[in-house]
Each structure stands twice: as C-alpha cells, then as structure tokens.
Amino acid sequence: MTERAGAAPRTALVVTVSNRAAAGVYADDSGPVVAEGLRALRFAVDGPVVVPDGDPVEEALRDAVAAGYDVVVTNGGTGLSPLDLTPERTRRVLDHEVPGVAEALRAAGAAKGVATAVLSRGLAGVAGRTFVVNLPGSPGGARDGVQVLSGFLEHAVDQLRGGDHPRPGAGRAGT
C-alpha cells in the first residue's frame, strides 16, 4: 500500500466484542491480531477497545464515527448465540451496507476449510465517512478477515474520502 504525499494517515479503531473479556474473565486474544494486521496495512490504529455485546457496541461505533475514524473493525459477537448482538447493533449505525464484504469474509473462511465461517452474521457498511466491518471473534477468523480486507480497504477509504476510481493505464506516457 502506498501513502499519497500530503494525504492524512488512514485511521482505524479496533473494537473487541466479548462479554467475558469485558468482565475480565479472560484476556482479549483476537483484538490485538486485528490491530497488528491493520498496522501492517499502514493504518494508525487505536484499540483494541473491549466492550460487552449489545448497546455498548452501538455506543462504541457511534463514538468512532463521530471521532472521524476511517475504519472501525469489530471482532466478536457475530455468531448464533442469543447474546451475539453485534450485527443488529451495527445495522443501527450504518447508513448503508456493503454486503459483498461480509460475503467475501464468509467465503474466505469456508474456502480455508472452516465450515462454521458461514454461520457468521457479521456485516460491513458505511456510517458517515467511516467504513465499518464485523469480523469473527476467534484469533484465526480475525487474522483471516484482515487478510481479506487487505485487498480493498485502502480503496474503500480513498472512496469515502472522495477519491476517484483508479483508471487502467492512467499516468502512463502516451495514454
């Protein structure tokens, strides 16, 4: 990924959604994986912030959008348990969904032989000028999710910042 001269650094917030980690029952082991992955993509990363599922997720997302983060990545809370409410709280914040991202995340997990990846109810979309995506809570799912995001996250942020689509052959002599 190349940083454009004079462009503001791309910013990201990682939000770990875990009732048990938020209560101190165990340490967050997937949020740091997401943060490390985003730093490798040259994002300035804050977090992980650990919150319990439910309304605190919505509050964290709204605060992040208000703070102007380019990207917010949640990890956890996307399963089938009655306590997994992250997709519902995320949907309340999004202006519009980008379903292809969530589909790509599930497909990548399934392609790696993780049959349960298709059970993730995670969403992705845009809130204001912030790209929001829900990843699974397992460290492996989080790592794989960041790998999927690496293919397009820079372009998504550039688009949300008002950038144009790259044009084939643009910038070459004789075009």
What tens-digit pLDDT sequence spans the chain (175 residues)? Answer: 445 555 789 999 999 999 999 999 999 999 999 999 999 999 999 999 999 999 999 999 999 999 999 999 999 999 999 999 999 999 999 999 999 999 999 999 999 999 999 999 999 999 999 999 999 999 999 999 999 999 999 999 999 999 876 666 654 444 3
> Quick one: pLDDT at residue 174?
42
Phi, psi of 3 (to 5 degrees): -90, 125
Strands 124-127 and 130-135: antiparallel
- pTM, entire model: 0.90
Peptide bond into 32 cis (omega under 30): no
Q: Which of 51, 21, 17 is nearest to 120 (CA)?
A: 17
**φ and ψ at 76, to 5 degrees?**
105, 165
